[in-house]
Structure 1
Amino acid sequence: MNEARDVPLRRLRLRRPTDSLTDRLWLLRRRWRTLLRLSLATSGSFFVATEVLHHQQAFFAPIAAVLVLIAGAGLRGRTLFELVLGVAIGVLVGELLVIGIGRGPVQMALIVVLTVVASTLLGLKGLAMTQAASSSVLLAAVLPVAGAGNPAVTRFLDALLGGVAGLAAILLIPRNPVRDIDREVQRILNQLADILSSIAQALRTVDPELADVQLATARQMQPQVEVMTSTAASATEIARMSPVRWRQRDHVRSYVATVRDLDNAVRDTRVLARKSSTLLRRGEPVPAGLEQAISALAKAFRIFADDLSERDDFDEARDALVEAARLATTALTARMTINNATIAAQVRSLAADLLYASGSTRAEIDEKLDFG
């Protein structure tokens, strides 16, 4: 088990550094959407605030746009709207308080506290509340110019304008939701296929340590599942809200439909790995054909990944999954143990997980996996 515990540390040591100039250039190239959004949202909101609304101190417009685009990166739609509202509310409440009580160290403390109180009563929390407090601090520290009109109104409008500009930039220059969710789903599917292939090798070579390593790897996959789930939710919102991505809604929907079943597949793989390790450590004989069934299942996972990415009809993947389940069932002999029976059952469960993900109904799966 020490080897299993050392796996994450070895991977960490082998990971390539990300602070080289090449890595930074690669990261910069990936951020082209963020750079374009920032330039358009800040300049656009500042232009409208100064040239259309004739505000003399319109710094809150570009600041609010930057806050929404940077602090709101990757946030869900509702949270983004709350962030826009939080910035604007922080400006309005803070400026009204400044008008009433003036500026100074004591007033600054009171303004921040009362802004947080007002934000809480309005239902804002987390990042939205943080930005509300930050906005109130900024305006309390900056004196408005004489003759610039009512600062509470102008600064509130500027903040709201900048926030809306940032939100519009996100919707009009969105990320590719299909590519985002495909990356996470493919990562899960390929890692599961690798784990299954290694478990099959462990059974073939009677190597309990290799099975232990795969069990440790499977146990470490839950954060990836959570990232995949979050990405699926964000991709769904982008495809629904952004006119630029409306045509991708069906493709995104097909990915999202697999997420829950892939979560189940990760859990089933952990059980399979644990039982394989137990079987090998107890010296139980490996039924002939069981490792072939797991190898076939790993191949089926890779076929499913290709079918999902290419929007195929899953016929080849379904056939491969059924074949893996058949091999597992026929591998069981009269000398069954709880471990080899559980392994075979988990192969069937994993096949069912992906059959569900491919759109098969419960009745269809029961019929396909009935080898009696």
Structure 2
Amino acid sequence: MAGARDMPLRRLRLRRPTDTLGDRLYVLRRRWRTLVRLSLGTAMAYFIATHLLHHQQAFFAPIACIIVLIAGGGLRGRTSYELVLGVATGVLVGELLILAIGRGTWQMALIVTLTVVISTLLGLKGLALTQAATSSVLLAAVIPAAGVSNPAISRFLDALVGGAVGLAMILLVPRNAIRDIDREVQNFLTRLADILSRTAQALRTVDANLADLALEEARSMQPQVESMTSTAANVSEIARMSPMRWKQRGHVQTYVATVRDLDNAVRDARVLARKVSALLRHGEVVPPDMDIAIDALARAIGIFAGDLSEHEDFDEARQQLVEAARMASIALPDAITMNSASIAAQIRSLAADLLYASGYTRDEIDERLEFG
């Protein structure tokens, strides 16, 4: 009975808050590039197909443009090209099959099946394969206007035109590469600093449960790591390919170079939290000032985040990281246990990962973290 009484409360907690008009207006303002791309791109694609190529019913040109802009706007270059090829392949294969077998219910099933088979053999997959199938369905359902000659070639060219215009709009009205990667990295660094602060608090209060919470939070960051890695690859291509973002290339590469080391850092944070939990649960002596060393790491991450965003040098962050590693070495008790030694080692590893992210070489890190 208690579980039944608690059910409405649990459902209430799981409900997401309703978006306000202000929230939607904010999202709309953020989408101004998408609106510009869609309006200019669809008009341009339709104009080229209708007035320059003289195609009737040139609906596939703006449709292909929309597909590339909406579905492919956040994808890497090769995936976007495959998306264009998927749309064009679906159009060509579908139209050729229609010319051979006509339109109808069983023809629809056969056209979709053969389009997917041929697209798969061409190496298309994922979103590109989906678009090939949907393009063939649209063709099978739409009867060309009277007088349209060779609709297979016309619609294939329309799809290519629309896809090419969509790609051009992505390059000419590109995402703000720095803003996109900075948002991801700053959120990541904020969470990582919070995890370290919670781990330090666990040592201060001798609370193993708090260390376990930090461990769970660190484990939950893997999807964010994958998203950050994907964004880094995307913005790197934008900065390299789009003339509008060429001036951002240096700053973008600084971000991209840090991502792998940040992934290593959160892995070390997981091990650190786990070792802190083990030390506390086994009732071992808490090394004095080890919590201060972990707090110093958290502060260093905040400084690092600011330097990264402002594209400044990392001198202050590096000093803090070296100091955190030094404090951890000093904090080791005379009677070293496996867990206390592991905690100090993980603090050093975290500092090293972030020093790598700041641009230090292995030799430079070894030199600065040598406290013997």
Structure 1 residue 13, shift from structure 2 partner: 4.2
- The residue correspondences of 1:258-269 to structure 2 (distance < 5 A) are 258-269=258-269
Would the alpha carbon gap of residues 267 and 99 (structure 1) be closer, same or farther in structure 2, given more than 3 Å must change?
same
1:283 maps to which residue?
A: 283
Q: Secondary structure of the residue that 2:227 maps to in structure 1?
A: helix
1:257 maps to which residue?
A: 257
Deviations 1:146-168 (A, max 9, x none): 22221111111111111111111
8 Å contact kept, 1:69–1:167:
yes
Deviations 1:254-282 (A, max 9, x none): 00111111001001000110111111122
Q: What are structure 1's unaligned runs of at least 5 residues?
A: 1-8
8 Å contact kept, 1:18–1:24:
no
1:205 maps to which residue?
A: 205
Deviations 1:143-192 (A, max 9, x none): 11122221111111111111111111111111111111111111111111
1:300 maps to which residue?
A: 300
Root mean square deviation of aligned Cα = 1.7
d(CA) in 2 for partners of 1:49 and 1:356?
Answer: 52
TM-score by length of 1: 0.94
Q: What are structure 2's unaligned runs of at least 5 residues?
A: 1-8
d(CA) in 2 for partners of 1:15 and 1:214?
Answer: 25
1:50 maps to which residue?
A: 50
Are 1:230 and 2:230 counterparts?
A: yes
Structure 1 residue 19, shift from structure 2 partner: 2.7
d(CA) in 1 for partners of 2:94 and 2:76?
Answer: 27
Are 1:187 and 2:187 counterparts?
A: yes
Task: Decide which moves more: 344-353 or 15-24.
Answer: 15-24
d(CA) in 2 for partners of 1:322 and 1:249?
Answer: 29
d(CA) in 2 for partners of 1:135 and 1:90?
Answer: 5
Q: Secondary structure of the residue that 1:334 maps to in structure 2?
A: coil
2:216 maps to which residue?
A: 216
Deviations 1:265-317 (A, max 9, x none): 00100011011111112221211121111111111111111111111111111
d(CA) in 2 for partners of 1:341 and 1:121?
Answer: 55
d(CA) in 1 for partners of 2:315 and 2:16?
Answer: 39
Deviations 1:314-363 (A, max 9, x none): 11111110100000000112111111111111110000001111111111
The aligned amino acid for 1:345 is A
2:342 maps to which residue?
A: 342
d(CA) in 1 for partners of 2:249 and 2:348?
Answer: 32
8 Å contact kept, 1:322–1:368:
yes
d(CA) in 2 for partners of 1:257 and 1:64?
Answer: 35
1:196 maps to which residue?
A: 196
The aligned amino acid for 1:213 is L
> What's the % identity of the aligned pairs?
73
The aligned amino acid for 1:223 is P
Are 1:157 and 2:194 counterparts?
A: no
Structure 1 residue 92, shift from structure 2 partner: 1.0
Are 1:322 and 2:314 counterparts?
A: no
Structure 1 residue 22, shift from structure 2 partner: 2.1
d(CA) in 2 for partners of 1:130 and 1:367?
Answer: 54
d(CA) in 2 for partners of 1:26 and 1:18?
Answer: 14
Structure 1 residue 21, shift from structure 2 partner: 2.1
The aligned amino acid for 1:164 is A
Deviations 1:63-91 (A, max 9, x none): 11111111223111111001101111111
1:147 maps to which residue?
A: 147
Are 1:354 and 2:354 counterparts?
A: yes
Are 1:166 and 2:166 counterparts?
A: yes
Structure 1 residue 30, shift from structure 2 partner: 1.1
1:35 maps to which residue?
A: 35
d(CA) in 2 for partners of 1:347 and 1:141?
Answer: 63
Are 1:83 and 2:83 counterparts?
A: yes
1:103 maps to which residue?
A: 103
d(CA) in 2 for partners of 1:14 and 1:199?
Answer: 28
d(CA) in 1 for partners of 2:16 and 2:197?
Answer: 25
TM-score by length of 2: 0.94
Task: Decide which moves more: 218-227 or 15-24.
Answer: 15-24
Structure 1 residue 14, shift from structure 2 partner: 8.7
Would the alpha carbon gap of residues 269 and 14 (structure 1) be closer, same or farther in structure 2, given more than 3 Å must change?
farther
1:4 maps to which residue?
A: none
The aligned amino acid for 2:203 is L
d(CA) in 2 for partners of 1:117 and 1:187?
Answer: 42
Q: Secondary structure of the residue that 2:284 maps to in structure 1?
A: coil
1:333 maps to which residue?
A: 333
d(CA) in 1 for partners of 2:14 and 2:122?
Answer: 48
Q: Secondary structure of the residue that 1:74 maps to in structure 2?
A: coil
The aligned amino acid for 1:274 is R
d(CA) in 2 for partners of 1:62 and 1:74?
Answer: 19
Q: Secondary structure of the residue that 1:283 maps to in structure 2?
A: coil
Would the alpha carbon gap of residues 229 and 15 (structure 1) be closer, same or farther in structure 2, given more than 3 Å must change?
farther
2:122 maps to which residue?
A: 122
d(CA) in 2 for partners of 1:113 and 1:291?
Answer: 62
